[in-house]
Chain A
Amino acid sequence: MRAALSSEWLKLRSVTSTFHAIGAAALMVALGVVWTFYVGGLADARGAIRVAAPEQAFLPLVQMSLAVIGVLTITSEHTTGMIRASLTAVPRRGALLLAKVGMVGAATFVAAHAVILTTYVVSRLIAGDRQLGFNEVTFSHDLPMLLASGLSVTVLALVGLGLGFVTRSTAGAIVSVVSLLFVLPAAATYLPPSWNTRVAVFIGNLRGDPRLQAGRNRTPAEQGRGRRFAARRTAVKPPHDTARFGSAFDGGDDQAIGRTIGNTLAAELAERRNACGAGVRPQRESSRAGDRRRSRKPNRRRLESRFFRAGRMSSCPTWCNRSPTSSCRDGSAVSS
């Protein structure tokens, strides 16, 4: 096994594609510098702001780049035919795959953490004592999140390896990884309720999406700190400014560790879709019911009550973060 690992290590570092992929991942540092300078300038002009940390905002870049390493580790052998020589040298297929898993896991784990930690340190140095939101907690507080981010990259690289192993095609496996990261989360929100959140949370966990943990693993101290911060900010800035930033960046008093830009949160969307009385119109139920009683206009209240009885009733208060509406907190009001 040691021999196979050492061979895989040489395979990994003897092709340029590995370094291209790591180079692409390392762009995060450059982007982090640009981002921090930009938001730092905004903070200089307007006082404290609250924006995403670059190592969270640009995490998908690292994930994609290093997932490509995982994919190529196996598909490059299949496309070139090198796999035959490899399997002749290591006839036990499980051992060969295991060696690849070990090497991809280790290499991407180290590379991802190097990139993420560099971005972290550089951005904090540039930010200095400006109040940017992301730089107001200690390193020890951020550390679990940084480790989790690096680990999510490793997991995605291994998923890429697995997909490459199954598809045996570079293009097929990379498209699958991209779908998993960017297409499936959006598609998941269209699944029927309870499943949409389940799938979205699963994918979110796979992507290491920090917002999924944001609301749940929060300690009271952090909540308090978040509130203090909010109070301070509203004191610094005029209300209209707050509103403007609220749309561009994350404006909430919520201590969301990384509200990332351009990183659609499927779970949140799904949550919103499920939120009682909001956005959810049981369209399919309605049309089915309409079919049954062609002559009658579907009774919206009855349909909604059916909908809630079917499965929403119990889960409703858990998920609903909105102020109670006619149909939400009090399920009995609906079913009456």
Chain B
Amino acid sequence: MIELRQLTKHYGVTLAVDDLTFTVTPGHVTGFLGPNGSGKSTAMRLILGLDAPDSGEALVNGRPYTSLGLPMRQVGALLDANAVHGGRSAYNHLLCLARTNDIGPRRVTEVLEQVGLAGAARRRVGGFSLGMKQRLGIAAALLGDPGVLMFDEPVNGLDPGGVRWIRDLMRTLAAEGRTILLSSHLMSEMALTAERIVIVGRGRLIADTTVDELTASHPTLEDAYMALTASSVQFGTSR
């Protein structure tokens, strides 16, 4: 369960997130959509306590993220697959994170197998392709077997097999009763994976609905998205 309440965040004069309120509920995949620069990543950073909001609050399982004791056991997140030290092996990278939350090396091996990196576990991450790094990032998110998962653009750089794998993984995780927040720009993929959709533009909430409702009023999810975000795409223009 993720709750955002009147969340607002400025970076200088830029209003990144503007009075954002929505709830992500467990049991299904929630798609998080919006044009570039619409505040998706900022919202995720605020949920994870990487930034402090100017006002409002973001709660995970009813508590602010920074107050969680062993946060990886409750929340798993993939923000940027490239944000890894290239000199470390995949196994060591995961073990570094695991140790902070009292997660043992056995679980590290387990998630490496789950994401299909068991064979590359001892290789330096610097030599990984983007797709492999995405898998590594997903493995890191899964380390603590958390009930809440957030993924920012996890399908970037994945091969068709990988895209399908992510789709199945997301659905499986949701079916296990977890809360999944998934951001992506691939509408066709989102239509296949997500059940609920949250659309933001210019930091504001545009829609919080189900895929079925959106596709009922428009031919495809893509058309619905284009119609809803038409007024908030242009970045750099005056507001």
Q: Are B50 and A7 in contact (CB under 8 A)?
A: no
Closest residue of A by beta carbon distance from B75: A88
A325 contacts partner chain B, Cβ-Cβ < 8 Å: no
When distances are taken between beta carbons in the complex, the residues of chain A under 8 Å from B75 are 88
The answer, among B49, B84, B92, B99, for a CB contact under 8 Å with A91, is: B49
Report whether over half of chain A's contact residues are helix, strand or loop; otherwise say mixed. Answer: helix
Residues of chain A within 8 A (CB-CB) of B93 are: 14
Size range of the chain A interface in the assembly: 20 to 34
> Across the interface, which residues of B come within 8 angstroms of A89, CB to CB?
71-72, 97, 100-101
Assuming A10-B99, A14-B93, A88-B77, what are 14 further A-B pairs, CB within 8 angstroms? Answer: A7-B97, A10-B96, A11-B88, A14-B88, A15-B87, A81-B84, A82-B83, A82-B85, A85-B140, A88-B72, A89-B100, A90-B100, A91-B48, A92-B66
* Cβ of A232 under 8 Å from chain B: no
Determine the chain B residues whose CB is within 8 A of the CB of A17 once the complex forms.
Answer: 87
Complex Cα spacing A325 to B87, Å:
63
Query: Across the two chains, which residue of chain B brings its CB closest to A11?
Result: B96
A3 contacts B99, C-beta separation under 8 Å: yes
B65 CB within 8 Å of chain A = yes
- Structural contact, A91 and B100, CB atoms closer than 8 A: no
Residues of chain A at the chain B interface (Cβ within 8 Å)? 3-4, 6-7, 10-11, 14-17, 76-77, 80-82, 84-92
Chain B hits for A85, CB < 8 A: 79, 83-84, 97, 140
Interface residue B214 (Cβ < 8 Å from any Cβ of A): no
Residues of A with C-beta under 8 A to B87: 14-17
Contacting pair B65 A91 (CB below 8 A): yes
Contact check, B83 vs A88: say whether CB atoms are below 8 A apart: no
Measured CB to CB, the nearest residue on chain A to B77 is: A88
Q: List 24 A-B contacts (CB under 8 A).
A: A3-B99, A3-B100, A7-B99, A10-B92, A10-B99, A14-B87, A14-B88, A14-B92, A14-B93, A15-B88, A80-B86, A81-B83, A81-B84, A82-B84, A84-B79, A85-B83, A85-B97, A86-B100, A88-B49, A88-B77, A88-B79, A89-B97, A89-B101, A90-B100
What is the distance, in angstroms, from B34's C-beta to the closest C-beta of chain A? 20
Q: Contact at B96–A80, with CB atoms within 8 Å?
A: no
**Chain B residues in 8 Å Cβ range of A7:** 96-97, 99-100
B82 within 8 Å of A (CB atoms): yes
In Å, the complex CA distance between A16 and B87 comes to 7
Residues of A within 8 A of B42 (CB): none
Complex CA distance for A7 and B140, rounded to whole angstroms: 14
The tally of CB-CB contacts under 8 A between chains A and B is 75
Closest 4 CB pairs of A and B: A81-B83, A14-B92, A7-B99, A91-B66
Instruction: Report the minimum CB–CB distance from A89 to chain B (whole Å).
Output: 4
Verify A84–B83 contact, CB threshold 8 A.
Answer: yes
With contacts A7-B100, A88-B48, A89-B97 taken as known, whether A76 is within 8 angstroms of B66 at the C-beta atoms is no
Residues in chain A near residue B101, CB distance under 8 A: 3, 89
Name the CB-closest residue of A to B126. A80
Closest residue of chain B to A17 (Cβ to Cβ) is B87
Inside 8 A of A3's CB, which chain B residues have their CB?
Answer: 99-102
